[in-house]
Amino acid sequence: MPLSDYRTALVTGASAGIGAAVAERLAQQGLTVHALARDAERLADLARRTGCVPHAVDVADTEALTDAVSGFKIDILVNNAGVGHAGTILAADESAVDELLAVNLRAVLHLVRLLVPGMVERDLGHVVNIGSIAGVYNFPGNTVYHATKAAVHTLSRQLRIDARGRRVRVTEICPGRVETEIFGRLLGDREGARRIYYDGYETLRPADIADAIEYAIGAPRHVNIGHIEILPTFQVPGGLSFERRLDG
């Protein structure tokens, strides 16, 4: 289903990083792009540059999110908004767990609930869920984030079953390390995060993810690109740990 078959798109987390890159790319393809994010000022700048329609909405606010998309006929839904909190579940506090569930999972479920039935009815649509390698590989550092992204991974597969028999395609994008602001927000120190996570590394850029999404959406109508794992060449997931104890 080439891009020319689609008219409208909705992108969450669109004020910066991957979301902004995807919104800009889809607008360049001639789509009417609804850009959702909390940062009204950045959204306004994106709208000036790309012609997208800005919506200053916190996706964690289900009532506001529902009001924002009410009546929309969306052909392409890009669930990109996400947050992270460092640490294991053993040290997580209530607010961290609730925020990750609200943004990374609950908002995705509600947007699918609100917009995909229309795609099914019109026999036309594409859902792109931005997952993470954290959803398919286990490594230390952010247990709740892993859990939410694993849920998005399963939802992406299940959604194809729910919409079977209709021309509604579902693509999960699972990136490795992408140079965005997420680590800066985690540390509360953007420059410190850059030194730790990006300086000296060949990391992905938001445009790389936009390229993958454009490829998946632009595939012929009989082709569903279900899962794309995209990592920097020098980043390799996996590994095995085995703790040795001698105290019985």
Catalytic residues, which ones? Answer: 145
Tell me the three state secondary structure of residue 16. coil
Q: Which residues contact 18 (CB under 8 A, 6 or more apart)?
A: 80, 130, 175, 178, 180, 206, 209, 210
CA-CA-CA-CA torsion sign (234, 238, 244, 245): positive
Task: Spell out the long-range contacts of 23-28 with Cβ–Cβ below 8 A and sequence spacing 24 or more.
Answer: 23/50, 23/52, 24/49, 24/50, 24/52, 24/210, 25/207, 25/210, 25/213, 25/214, 26/76, 26/78, 26/214, 27/51, 27/52
